[in-house]
Amino acid sequence: MALSNSQITKLGDRLRQGITDEEDLNLLDKFRQTFSTLDEQVYPVIHSALMVRTDCTLTKRKRKTQQSIVDKLIRQTRLRLPQMQDIAGCRIVVEGGSQAAQQINALLNDALSSSHSLLSSDWQVESKERDAKGYHAIHIVVKADKRFYEIQLRTYAQDIWANLVESMSDEKNTLKYGGSEQEQPLMSKLTRLADTFSDIDQSAHKMTFADYQQQLQEAIRDVLSD
């Protein structure tokens, strides 16, 4: 039996409040599995579209875990479980800056919007800049049959920044979401580094990749050594 939006929403409410049992966890896993068809439809279109580019890396992300879903519901109190956009998806890292990322963004939007293999009547593609607490990227969100598939499109610099934050985070991973009160001095440095990276990204197409990498490394040393 298919899960209704009402069932999924109520499940999300229970998960957020910590009122769950084994039946709810099984229901959550069933909901996660409903993204398989969407994943199987979208990923090949992306892979095919990127074959004309030699400057990017495509990685399929694992399905969002049960715990990650619960944690996000707790962090974002107004988020309804059926509207969570990153349960399934992939990541693309461009060996370049903003111009290269925008080119790939346009390429993917065209490919996904015109693909004959995507037959859903409510197929939608939305591309948006993400900018929150230092995190910068383009997220391309595909919606079909009331399910979402998120493509994270990062420049080389944005990927370095995200991986740096991951490596510096503790087991609570608060740094990734803006930092705890004690982490604010470090978060300020990381936000400043992200802004510097953004400036470098704007002119990355005017320099060699080696020079681009060197500028990023110098920025890391200058900002984080203060």
**Which residue ranges make up each domain of the chain?**
5-156, 160-224
Give the model's pLDDT for residue 45.
92
- Distance of alpha carbon 71 from alpha carbon 74, whole angstroms: 5
Q: Identify the CATH number of the domain defined by range 5-156.
A: 3.30.460.10
- Distance of alpha carbon 133 from alpha carbon 35, whole angstroms: 29
Q: Name which of 38, 36, 138 is nearest 92 in CA terms.
A: 138
**Average pLDDT of the chain to the nearest whole number:** 90
pLDDT over 70, % of the chain: 94
Mean pLDDT of 179-195: 89
* CA atoms in the 13 A half-sphere facing the CB of 15: 30
Give the model's pLDDT for residue 124.
76
Q: Name which of 142, 139, 129 is nearest 35 in CA terms.
A: 142
Task: Please state, as a whole number, how many other Cβ atoms lie within 10 Å of the Cβ of residue 75.
Answer: 11
- Positive or negative CA dihedral for 74, 127, 3, 62? negative
| Lowest mean per-residue pLDDT among 119-133, 163-177, 202-216 | 119-133
Locate 4 and state its tokens: 């209704």
At 133-148, the pLDDT tens digits run: 788 899 999 988 889 9
Amino acid at 86: D
**Higher confidence at residue 226 or residue 118?**
226
pTM of the full structure? 0.90
